[in-house]
């Protein structure tokens, strides 16, 4: 199936204009939509973890549902969310 890329993460990283590296990454990915059900879960997860970044939360909720690995350069809140939700999500810090 390939790599899944959260639409919220795309929004955080995309700044318009030509972005060759991100475009190459996206070419091999399935972009997962932000649905009402998913974002309700992400918001609730923020409440449980005591965090405020709903995009980070959405990433953890989605990865837990799919059994995916999360690759990140900012592991702190993702770890906190994973631990608070008590889900099996592997985190890889780059």
CATH number of domain containing 27: 3.40.50.1010
Residue 84 C-alpha from the chain's centroid: 16
Q: How many domains does the chain have?
A: 1
CB 40 within 8 Å of CB 14: no
pLDDT tens-digit map of 11-53: 888 888 888 888 888 888 888 888 999 999 999 999 999 999 9
Distance CA 46, CA 31 (A): 22
CB 33 within 8 Å of CB 62: no
**What is the value of pTM for the model shown?**
0.84
Q: Which domain holds residue 15?
A: 3-93
């Amino acid at each position: 199936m390939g790599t899944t890329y959260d639409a919220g993460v795309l929004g955080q990283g995309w700044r318009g204009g030509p972005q060759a590296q991100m475009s190459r990454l996206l070419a091999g990915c399935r972009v997962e939509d932000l649905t009402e059900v998913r974002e309700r879960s992400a918001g609730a997860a923020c409440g449980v973890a005591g965090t405020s970044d709903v995009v980070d939360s959405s990433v953890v909720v989605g990865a837990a549902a799919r059994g995916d690995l999360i690759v990140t350069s900012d592991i702190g809140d993702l770890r906190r969310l994973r631990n608070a939700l008590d889900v099996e999500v592997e985190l890889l810090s780059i």
